[in-house]
Amino acid sequence: DTGVSQNPRHKITKRGQNVTFRCDPISEHNRLYWYRQTLGQGPEFLTYFQNEAQLEKSRLLSDRFSAERPKGSFSTLEIQRTEQGDSAMYLCASSLPDRGYEQYFGPGTRLTVT
């Protein structure tokens, strides 16, 4: 299967700990997006990469959040000093440059902060 993959699928952490998630996009896709989905809500945009460049960040992405895509392939999303309000599903999506509207989503990483 060559779809978008995310690891881990589930993460339980204690408040105050740091966590890092990984996203591997579809290989020929140079655009990569991160979204966050809380229970009963639609996903909300967090940040966007074109190749290795981070082009936009939502104001939802506080200073505790950082995302990287160092070689323009996989991406990581780190949350420092986690809070209970960070508990959510973190979704990654990728697309071709000329078809940015057609995004393919990964299965998500479900974060639970206790």
Partner 1 sequence: GNSVTQMEGPVTLSEEAFLTINCTYTATGYPSLFWYVQYPGEGLQLLLKATKADDKGSNKGFEATYRKETTSFHLEKGSVQVSDSAVYFCALASKTSYDKVIFGPGTSLSVIP
- Residue 78 vs 102, nearer CB to partner 1: 102
Both tokens assigned to 23: 């996203």
Give the residue from 31, 35, 32, 55 showing the smallest Cα distance to 46. Answer: 35
* Mask for 13-52, x = binds partner 1 (CB under 8 A): ------------------x-x-x----xxxxxx--x-x--
The token duo for 32 is: 């990569």
- Compute the distance between CA of residue 92 and CA of residue 45 in angstroms, rounded to an integer: 10
Tokens at 35, concatenated? 């979204």
**Contact region with partner 1 (CB under 8 A), list: 16-24, 59-67, 73-81, 98-106:** 98-106
Q: Give the integer Cα–Cα distance in Å for 101 and 104.
A: 10
First to last CA, the chain: 34
Residue 78 C-beta: closest distance to partner 1, Å:
20
Chain positions 66 to 95 lying near partner 1, rule: CB under 8 A, are 91, 93, 95
> Where on the chain is the footprint of partner 1 (CB under 8 A)?
31, 33, 35, 40-45, 48, 50, 55-56, 91, 93, 95, 100-108
